[in-house]
């Protein structure tokens, strides 16, 4: 047989495949982020965002994200001699991600170095860095959110706040007083009652002063390698909040047993576990019977982190979709130059910008919560933002994934990871219905929060007729008894969130963005999927503002 004289790989020419989206500053071209950060009082941290953005978009950090998810954490219940240790082993890439997050203060900078805009800067950093990898945000978020609860006991805060907010990551179990940096988790959910915390059965028996012995279980306890946990348990006078350290002051391990790690849909870099307490010692925080009221402050912060996490995921999903479409040709032209794809990308960009604007406005309210109106606005705004932004993330991720065609369905792209991560923020910290009902509760119990909400919307009055009409019909809808609205809770909350997002865009975004948002989200001109903006929309202007590089 004749040999054919040609290179061995002659059939394998790689053409029309985009270069990887790497080696870029995730923050630098995120105009919606940068404008919002300045608007909400954290313009002083723009350089910090660029530094973290450069790291988040680096090949190195992207590789950490892949490895931390491919090599999932492993539970080590016992040492080789049979002693119970209840530790979790992580891939080195997880530790690199955590080191960066802690060094950049994502877990505690606003508490450690308070200043105007500190929370806005922290939420913006969380949003930027989560684009490298989202799973490790869980312990970072819980540690950040635990501090205001701990402050309810000045003695505990004096002892443990410095170590929980330190910029040093020290993944070793030691007594808290010996640590240079520590993490705090949260354990509320039980098998028989997750959302309904009143059904919790874990018992807390008085042991010595403010120390109690906890016996029971938790069905979900993420980041079980943390140094301490805020836990809910039934004390003699009812459900109470406790601070439970993993290691006791004498160096022995507390009776905190990790039963197994959950095999999860996504969020695979992060360890989520089932745990049991066998007379584990814990310190009471807040009064007996006031457990939910005490821990709710932590939940409010983690809920806003869910908003930030979902906004971050949408931005990264858009960035990946846009990058692909700007490099891939089909039917004789770049995808990004073809009208239907432009419509899809612009619609994804709109959703992403609306999520980012809302996240930053809510972070600003947290920063300014000494102002009663801002605090009231945050009470309602965080609950409705958590509901809506987190609900939008899965469909946004699915549509962005499809922009990459088959490549988006393959694990070597980041899209499957974003897609699997997307539903989680809507589940934890209060699932969709629970959040929607919480909005109704806020309406019923804190009428000033509704006043603050409408005061905010009024700032945009006259900017867009569709927004004005939507705000009026919302006011009519809410004029009745909120308790009678339960069956319509989702519809109401969705509308409240859309009106709030639209008002922010009308006030602060370019006309093309606000106009397309109002037309499709309030004016009935959009369809059921992304990519259904009316042809008159300023697609080019929306995209020119949003391109990631």
Ligand X SMILES: Cc1cc2nc3c(=O)[nH]c(=O)nc-3n(C[C@H](O)[C@H](O)[C@H](O)COP(=O)(O)OP(=O)(O)OC[C@H]3O[C@@H](n4cnc5c(N)ncnc54)[C@H](O)[C@@H]3O)c2cc1C
**Residue ranges in contact with ligand X by CB under 6 A:** 185-189, 194-195, 220-222, 264, 267, 272, 424, 427-428, 430-434, 437
CB of 141 to ligand X, least distance (A): 10
CB of 383 to ligand X, least distance (A): 13
- Compute the radius of gyration of the chain from its Cα atoms: 24
Tokens, residue 292: 């939910």
- Nearer to ligand X among residue 188 and residue 442 (C-beta): 188
- Nearer to ligand X among residue 61 and residue 298 (C-beta): 298
- Nearer to ligand X among residue 218 and residue 545 (C-beta): 218
CB of 124 to ligand X, least distance (A): 24
CB of 258 to ligand X, least distance (A): 12
CB of 63 to ligand X, least distance (A): 24
- Nearer to ligand X among residue 57 and residue 394 (C-beta): 394
- Nearer to ligand X among residue 183 and residue 186 (C-beta): 186
Dihedral (CA of 21, 23, 26, 28) sign: negative
- Nearer to ligand X among residue 273 and residue 520 (C-beta): 273
**CB-CB contact of 381 with 365 (8 Å):** yes
End-to-end CA distance of the chain: 53
Strand-pair category, 238-245 with 256-261: unpaired
Using alpha carbons, list the distances in angstroms from residue 368 to 168, 335, 354, 355, 374: 28, 44, 21, 20, 6
CB of 452 to ligand X, least distance (A): 26
**CB-CB contact of 402 with 408 (8 Å):** yes
**Residue whose Cβ sits closest to ligand X:** 194
CB of 440 to ligand X, least distance (A): 11
Q: For residue 452, report the phi and psi dihedrals to the nearest 5 degrees.
A: -65, -40
CB of 188 to ligand X, least distance (A): 3
- Nearer to ligand X among residue 184 and residue 518 (C-beta): 184
- Nearer to ligand X among residue 70 and residue 198 (C-beta): 198
CB of 190 to ligand X, least distance (A): 8
Q: Judging by beta carbons within 10 Å of its beta carbon (0-12, 13-18, 19+), is residue 480 exposed, middle or buried?
A: exposed
Tokens, residue 438: 């919480």
Calpha distance 498→327 (Å, rounded): 33
Q: Tell me the DSSP string of 12-81.
A: ----S-PPPS-SS-TTTT-HHHHHHHHHTT-GGGHHHHHHHHHHHTSHHHHHHHHHHHHS--EEEEE-TT
Using alpha carbons, list the distances in angstroms from residue 293 to 149, 288, 338, 372, 388: 10, 11, 53, 19, 24
CB of 501 to ligand X, least distance (A): 22
CB atoms within 10 A of CB 41: 20
CB of 186 to ligand X, least distance (A): 5
**CB-CB contact of 313 with 422 (8 Å):** yes
Calpha distance 427→423 (Å, rounded): 7
Calpha distance 361→345 (Å, rounded): 24
CA 400, distance to chain mean position in Å, is 19
Using alpha carbons, list the distances in angstroms from residue 31 to 129, 183, 352: 16, 33, 12
Calpha distance 368→472 (Å, rounded): 28
Strand-pair category, 184-187 with 228-235: parallel
CB of 235 to ligand X, least distance (A): 18
- Nearer to ligand X among residue 157 and residue 188 (C-beta): 188
- Nearer to ligand X among residue 174 and residue 434 (C-beta): 434
- Nearer to ligand X among residue 386 and residue 521 (C-beta): 386
Strand-pair category, 329-330 with 228-235: unpaired
- Nearer to ligand X among residue 162 and residue 432 (C-beta): 432
Residue ranges with strand state E in 246-400:
256-261, 272-285, 329-330, 333-334
CB of 450 to ligand X, least distance (A): 21
- Nearer to ligand X among residue 51 and residue 427 (C-beta): 427
- Nearer to ligand X among residue 131 and residue 222 (C-beta): 222
CB of 158 to ligand X, least distance (A): 26
Strand partners, 234: 203, 239
**Could you give the count of Cα atoms lying within 13 Å of 516 in the half-sphere of its Cβ?**
30
């Amino acid at each position: 047989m004749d040999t054919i004289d040609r290179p061995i790989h002659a059939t394998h020419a790689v053409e029309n495949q985009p270069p990887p989206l790497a080696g870029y500053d995730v923050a630098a071209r995120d105009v919606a982020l940068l404008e919002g950060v300045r608007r909400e009082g954290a313009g002083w941290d723009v350089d910090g965002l660029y530094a973290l953005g450069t790291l988040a978009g680096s090949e190195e950090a992207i590789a950490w994200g892949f490895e931390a998810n491919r090599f999932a954490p492993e539970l080590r219940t016992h040492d080789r001699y049979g002693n119970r240790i209840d530790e979790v082993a992580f891939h080195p890439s997880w530790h690199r991600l955590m080191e960066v997050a802690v060094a950049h203060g994502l877990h505690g900078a606003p508490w450690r170095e308070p200043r105007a805009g500190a929370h806005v800067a922290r939420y913006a950093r969380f949003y930027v860095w989560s684009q490298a990898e989202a799973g490790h945000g869980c312990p970072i978020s819980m540690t950040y959110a635990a501090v205001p609860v701990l402050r309810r006991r000045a003695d505990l805060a004096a002892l443990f706040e410095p170590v929980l907010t330190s910029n040093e990551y020290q993944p070793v179990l030691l007594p808290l007083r010996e640590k240079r940096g520590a993490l705090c988790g949260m354990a509320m959910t039980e098998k028989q009652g997750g959302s309904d915390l009143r059904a919790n059965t874990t018992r807390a028996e008085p042991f010595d002063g403010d120390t109690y012995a906890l016996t029971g279980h938790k069905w979900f306890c993420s980041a079980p390698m943390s140094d301490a946990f805020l836990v809910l348990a039934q004390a003699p006078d009812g459900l109470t909040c406790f601070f439970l350290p993993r290691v006791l002051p004498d160096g022995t391990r507390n009776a905190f047993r990790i039963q197994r790690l959950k095999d999860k849909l996504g969020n695979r870099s992060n360890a989520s576990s089932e745990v049991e307490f066998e007379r584990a010692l814990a310190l009471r925080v807040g009064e007996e019977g006031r457990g939910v009221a005490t821990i709710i402050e932590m939940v409010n912060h983690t809920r806003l982190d869910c908003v930030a996490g979902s906004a971050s995921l949408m931005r990264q999903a858009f960035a990946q979709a846009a990058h692909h479409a700007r490099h891939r040709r089909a039917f004789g032209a770049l995808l990004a130059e073809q009208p239907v794809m432009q419509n899809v990308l612009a619609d994804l960009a709109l959703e992403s910008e609306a999520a980012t604007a809302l996240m930053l406005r809510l972070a600003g309210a947290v920063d300014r919560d000494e102002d009663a109106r801002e605090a009231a606005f945050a009470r309602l705004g965080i609950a409705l933002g958590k509901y809506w932004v987190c609900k939008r993330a899965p469909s946004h991720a699915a549509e962005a994934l499809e922009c990459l065609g088959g490549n988006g369905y393959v694990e070597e792209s980041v899209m499957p990871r974003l897609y699997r991560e997307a539903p989680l923020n809507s589940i934890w910290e209060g699932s969709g219905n629970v959040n929607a009902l919480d909005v109704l509760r806020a309406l019923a119990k804190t009428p000033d929060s509704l006043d603050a909400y409408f005061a905010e919307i009024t700032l945009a009055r006259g900017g867009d007729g569709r927004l004005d009409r939507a705000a009026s019909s919302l006011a009519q809808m809410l004029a009745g008894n909120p308790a009678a609205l339960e069956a319509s809770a989702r519809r109401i909350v969705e509308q409240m969130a859309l009106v709030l997002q639209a008002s922010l865009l009308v006030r602060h975004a370019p006309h093309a963005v606000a106009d397309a948002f109002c037309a499709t989200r309030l004016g009935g001109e959009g369809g059921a999927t992304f990519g259904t903006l009316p042809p008159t929309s300023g697609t080019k202007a929306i995209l020119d503002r949003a391109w990631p590089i």
